[in-house]
Amino acid sequence: MKKTLFSILFTCILAAGAWAQNMNDALLFSDQNLYGTARSVALGNAMTALGGDIGSVTINPAGSAIGNYSQITLTPNVSLVTTNNGYAPIAGAGITDWNKSSYSRFSMPNLGVVVNFDVADAGLKRMSFGILSNATNNHLNRANVWGINDYTSITGALAVKASDLDVSADVLNDASAYNQFGGGYWDVILGRRATLIESFDGVNNYYAGAAENLGLNPDGSTNIYTGGPLNQEYYRFEYGYKHDLVFNFGMNFSDKFFLGVNLGVPTFAYHSKYTLSETAVDPGDFETGLVDASYTYTYDAQGEGVYAKVGFIWLPAPGLRIGAAAQSPTLFNITDVFRLGGSTKFLAGGSQSGNELSPKNEYSYNLCAPGITSVGLAYTFGGFGLVSADWERTYYRGMYLSDADPSWGKETFKDANADIARYLRGANAFRVGAEFKLTPEFALRGGWTWKGDPQYGSAFTTQSYSAGLGYSSPGSFFLDLAARLTEYPAVAYYPYADYVDGYRSMSVDSNRSLADFVLTLGWRF
């Protein structure tokens, strides 16, 4: 288990790649997990052909024109994320430790009003105007896992990257280095200033990690290796929402054809933080006297955008409803901010302990998120219930990133946009829902959603299962409850790059599920 300084190919630290906006960032901020009201959630959001509910308006603008009533809704929600996390000291060689993590958070995924009023007795009979906010994504995620590793260390990975940069320790140790080098090298600057890495052999542009010892190879070259077993702990926390503020206009033609348009103003805020801590099982194994070391990466993004959407619902026969909607690409302006932190502690007589927090690195850019189309079919059984099904298509190949400075345009992101064109394709989603009237006041509901991945298709799917109960009073008040479980595809995190010949660096496998408990309070008038 040795590394030779001149035979290393260092790749990017995957978990800290947000200093170079890429295809994955575009996917993260384009993804949707629809919320709305408790009724729409319980029905699996299969609302393209149904309408009549404020939660449906984001899906099909014509939904506001269904029914001869106005309405106000308020929807609080509690989300509970659960992850099963597996730790592997050598990626791909098998999980050695498992841990389960849970976290809950309150939100308000729906708030809105739709006003519906008479126009004439025939032709254009009614019109509706609405202002509403519906959540279209929830990034809640938490992972925490630990295990023993005596093969690699994040300090070793940073040392290799610093050696590849080939500048002196004095340069890296100066706070002004953050201004001299791009954000892609801030990790090694922080590593040097926090004593995660040190120069060696009197040649100050070669580096070794705080968890590494020095030796000699048979040919006399320097051999650098992890000094002993480390207790590594990985912690990752993400949260954030995307909300669509929608200005809606709908029209009812002869109670047979309903047309609607939306002007959507989506906003999102996303926060993520990961920390990798390394504690020496026996500090005496390490020439530096390492007791513990930590590396933290914090990333925040905020964005706002605009899109247009048009849709219709047609009632060709009693009980039968056909709907379709088309949404333009969304134009986002996004601001990213990342920050790094690091610390070390050594035994007395060893290396000097360090603690460093980098400046904030901020960058603004544009994203053209993909257009979306959906078609739906529904059938209502008089006062007994209904069934509904949707097919939705998201055109990810139409995405692109561009510089906030118009003079640069797409040139800044030519590699990321080439990846989008090469690796992504349109993704399908299917939604089904059913409602059964227990009494004129009470309804039982259920739904299912299946969503494919734009890169891996049906091999990498997200599925949701939902159920709910609705109450509609003889007066204006109604109340809906829903519970939904969303199961996401398994993902792997690689906190630092492979850098030892013959060995992969550590990895964390994570399986996430998100439970939402939704309540809608509503009034019709």
| pLDDT range class, residue 281, cuts 50, 70, 90 | very high
Per-residue buried b or exposed e for 119-149, using 16+ beta carbons within 10 Å of the residue's own CB: eeeeeebbbbebebbbbbbbbbbbbbbbbeb
Which residue, among 330, 287, 291, has the nearest Cα to 308 in the 3D structure?
330
Percent above pLDDT 70 for the chain: 95
| Residues in contact with 251: Cβ distance below 8 Å, sequence separation at least 6, in sequence order | 65, 124, 126, 127, 128, 258, 259, 260
DSSP string, 438-494: SSSSEEEEEEEEEEEETTTEEEEEEEEEEEEEEEE-SSSEEEEEEEEEEEPPPEEE-
Q: What is the mean pLDDT of residues 389-399?
A: 96
CATH of the domain at 83: 2.40.160.60
> What is the chain's alpha carbon radius of gyration, rounded to the nearest angstrom?
27
Helix axes 23-30, 414-423, angle to 10 degrees: 70
Contact present, 214 and 296 (Cβ < 8 Å): no
pLDDT at position 13 over 50: no
| pLDDT range class, residue 257, cuts 50, 70, 90 | very high
Instruction: Say if residue 521 is exposed, middle or buried (CB neighbours under 10 Å; 0-12, 13-18, 19+).
Output: middle
Number of structural domains in the chain: 1
> Domain containing 97: what range?
3-524
Q: pLDDT (tens digit, 9 = 90+) per residue, 47-71?
A: 999 999 999 999 999 999 998 899 9
> Across-strand partners of 492?
509
Per-residue buried b or exposed e for 494-508, using 16+ beta carbons within 10 Å of the residue's own CB: bbbbbbbeebbbbbb
Amino acid 8: pLDDT: 28
pLDDT at position 309 over 80: yes
| pLDDT range class, residue 458, cuts 50, 70, 90 | confident
Contact present, 480 and 466 (Cβ < 8 Å): no
Contact present, 230 and 277 (Cβ < 8 Å): no
Look up residue 111 and give its two tokens: 């708030």
Read off the amino acid at residue 227.
Answer: G
Q: Which of 8-17, 163-172, 383-392, 455-464 has the highest mean pLDDT?
A: 383-392
Q: pLDDT (tens digit, 9 = 90+) per residue, 188-230?
A: 999 999 999 999 865 668 899 999 999 888 887 888 999 999 9
Contact present, 461 and 450 (Cβ < 8 Å): yes
Angle (CA) 400-390-114 rounded to 5° is: 85
